[in-house]
Amino acid sequence: EEGDLAMIPTPTFGEYENQSQLAGGRTERLAIGKDGTPLLRDSDLHRAKALFLCNPNNPTGRLLSQNQVHDLADRCEEAEVFLLVDEAFIELSRPEESVAQLAPSREYLFVMRSLTKSFGVPGMRLGFGVTNPLLAGIMNRAKIPWSIGSIAAAAAEYLLGCEDHLTRSRELIAEELNYLIPSLKNLGLDPLPSQVNFILVNIESAGLGSDVLAERTMARGVLVRDCQSFGLEKSYIRVAVRGHEDNERLIDVLERALRCKD
């Protein structure tokens, strides 16, 4: 509500901050510790109404274990602070680390899931939340009357049964990460370890900004993400993990863009 404080570990997905402010709330950014969890004192937590957590985190690609999130959920429950866990990419990482099964028994835990990322259907805008019956009832009364259409609803029912696709996707991602990480290092770049279908890459050693590099790769038909919107200035890009042929093309285009003198 108006004036409530939402805490947001940074860098992460920008919409948490945007939507909190649109609802009239205040936002405060938190640093992320070496173990991947937010650097959060109990005194900080007691000032907040909500804490956002993206797991795996976008854009860093880091996945927290179920135990790590469980511990954070315990702290939020004790402080009566809503923990909003965004697991949009977890089906492409390690779904066994999800805390969705914990949410129905907690008062202050809400887990968000997305089908658009897992199945590559962004135009459908499909997702769902998992929480306790009381909070679910409140949110159902507050949501817009027609949140999805009949076609999207039918697609959701079908996609939720496609476990084989998710298994194959995770196998492909793991295999291609083993190709992309060393290949990016061979270009003189510094990719962060990733457990999902994208990689955050430090490009400071290249001597050019992320906006310039993104323009050069786009001119060659390959899009990389300029990560300034995540608060990372011009030092990082994010690249997707795709099929092997596409990943080979990415490395080739990056190599040529880095060599370019104009």
The percentage of residues in the chain with a pLDDT greater than 70, rounded to a whole number, is 99
3-class DSSP string for the chain: CCCCEEEEECCCCCHHHHHHHHCCCEEEEECECCCCCECCCHHHHCCCCEEEEECCCCCCCCCCCHHHHHHHHHHHHHHCCEEEEECCCHHHCCHHHCCHHHHHHCCCEEEEEEHHHHHCCHHHCCEEEECCHHHHHHHHHHCCCCCCCHHHHHHHHHHCCCHHHHHHHHHHHHHHHHHHHHHHHHCCCEECCCCCCEEEEECHHHCCCHHHHHHHHHHCCCCCEEHHHHCCCCCEEEEECCCHHHHHHHHHHHHHHHHCCC
Same domain, 146 and 169: no
Residue 37 confidence (pLDDT): 95
**For residue range 207-227, what is the model confidence (pLDDT) as tens digits?**
999 999 999 999 999 999 999
Same domain, 101 and 171: no
Q: How many domains does the chain have?
A: 2
Same domain, 96 and 168: no
Residue 262 confidence (pLDDT): 58
Residue 146 confidence (pLDDT): 84
Question: What CATH number did the domain enclosing 110 receive?
Answer: 3.40.640.10
Low-confidence winner among 49-53, 109-113, 150-154 (lowest mean pLDDT): 150-154
Show the domain range for 31.
Answer: 5-159
- How large is the average pLDDT for residues 39-67? 96
Is it the case that residue 134 has pLDDT exceeding 80? yes
pTM: 0.93
